[in-house]
Structure 1
């Protein structure tokens, strides 16, 4: 039975729903393990060996090793769990969010202090298509 998911029409956004929770269960459990100092030490000593202790997919492991948080989210990671990786690396949440947007930490902070990204054109994919068609018709 397929559920109606109108939120799939939000551009650039992965909603952490029940399906994503199941997909990322082991990835998120790995992240939570980093709350304990001995686990952080083991992870930092040999990241691949520590990841191999978890029944994650190879894609999830590669995303963690690359610190590709956007890919981790696509693979079921929840940003609040993924933040444990950044903390283990000594990085702030602001730094992590900036890397996910392709901005420097300073650019990201300035954007957020100025009110964040504009909502126009970012609420529904259909808005982007309509905007593109309007511009092409001009």
Structure 2
């Protein structure tokens, strides 16, 4: 058994680990995000998002996820949250607002949850714990 291919973390519910496989899958998505660090690229993206995205060899699914601002889908498609944060910053959103949108909570609900210690680990350690639900 090749331990490098063993991914026990795949059993963590609601969690996508940014590993080498995800990095390869999301390379161009993440490069697009990093391009948004330059003001001229942010302006071009905001002027015509689709045209700017079409300059990048991303998959259509990745482009659609960006256009929809579906950050959870972007992560599933190889996006790294620290790169994806550049999209939020381009839109004038805080990291906290972005994280809240990914949980289905309002910014205030998300902030309060985090202030009070985050989500309970009970029932959230392994997907097999969900079998009884």
The TM-score by the shorter chain falls in which range? over 0.9
In structure 1, the partner of 2:78 is 76
Partner of 1:16, secondary structure, is: coil
In structure 2, the partner of 1:34 is 36
In structure 2, the partner of 1:46 is 48
* TM-score, reference length from structure 1: 0.92
Deviations 1:24-49 (A, max 9, x none): 00000000000000000000010000
When the two chains are superposed, the root-mean-square deviation of aligned CA atoms in Å is 1.2
Following TM superposition, the consecutive aligned residue runs of length 4 or more in structure 1 with deviations greater than 6 angstroms are none
Aligned length: 131
Q: 1:98 aligns with which of 97, 100, 106?
A: 100
Larger Rg: 1
In structure 2, the partner of 1:136 is none
* TM-score, reference length from structure 2: 0.95
Unaligned runs of 5+ in 1: 134-138
Distance across 2 between alignment mates of 1:106 and 1:23: 33
